[in-house]
């Protein structure tokens, strides 16, 4: 049984996570949209049932922010809301901890300082609305990152693996 499962494994964040896990010699199963379509609940359930991961890093997302307003609107909602719900439900069912990476697009951009996880949300576009739509109980536990700053994804990935987060215990237990 592999302890870690990564969705969106070939995207920017998924790639950074795989690199960090490789540096640490950790075993993981990593899937991109061709290997596991997160919008297909049965496919997600089948992978989770077969692998029974302890931790799921949900990095899959539809990230074409501009297209999410019009021609990509339906795909945006399918991936970012429905797909995330499928992953979260499957993780809960198999008893896995879910790490969900959101975006600063769930905020309206009026805060003069750095946003905190519990700050009030007010998305101004379809991408932000879809990322926010996964439900209030999940939003309280999600980690936010800026998707526009160079290096932010790499620093977020490294933050996820600090000893205080228990990654060593998870990968060795």
Rounding to the nearest 10 degrees, give the CA dihedral for residues 14, 26, 144, 101.
Answer: 50
The DSSP secondary structure of 98-130, one letter per residue, reads EEEB--GGGS-S--SS---TTSPP---SHHHHH
Q: Name the residue among 111, 115, 171 with its Cα closest to residue 142.
A: 115
Catalytic residue among 62, 100, 105, 127: 127
**Shortest CA distance to 17 belongs to which of 148, 173, 159, 139?**
159
Helices 12-23 and 152-160 meet at what angle, rounded to 10? 40
Token readout for 75 is 């795909």
- How far is Cα 132 from Cα 102, in angstroms, rounded to an integer? 8
Q: Is 57 a catalytic residue?
A: no
Report the alpha-carbon distance of residue 120 to residue 73 in Å, rounded: 24
Catalytically annotated residues: 127
């Amino acid at each position: 049984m592999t302890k870690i499962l990564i969705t969106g494994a070939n995207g920017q964040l998924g790639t950074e996570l795989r690199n960090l896990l490789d540096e640490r010699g950790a075993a993981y199963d990593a899937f991109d949209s061709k290997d596991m379509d997160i919008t297909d609940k049965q496919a997600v359930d089948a992978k989770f049932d077969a692998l029974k991961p302890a931790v799921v890093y949900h990095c899959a997302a539809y990230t074409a922010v501009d297209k999410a307003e019009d021609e990509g609107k339906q795909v945006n909602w399918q991936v970012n809301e429905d797909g995330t719900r499928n992953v979260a439900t499957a993780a809960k069912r198999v008893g896995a901890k879910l790490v969900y990476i959101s975006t600063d697009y769930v905020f309206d951009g009026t805060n003069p300082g750095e946003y905190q996880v519990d700050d009030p949300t007010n998305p101004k576009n379809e991408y932000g609305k879809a990322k926010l739509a996964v439900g209030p109980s999940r939003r309280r536990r999600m980690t936010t990152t800026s998707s526009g700053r160079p290096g932010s994804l790499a620093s977020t990935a490294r933050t996820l693996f600090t000893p205080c987060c228990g990654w060593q215990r998870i990968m060795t237990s």
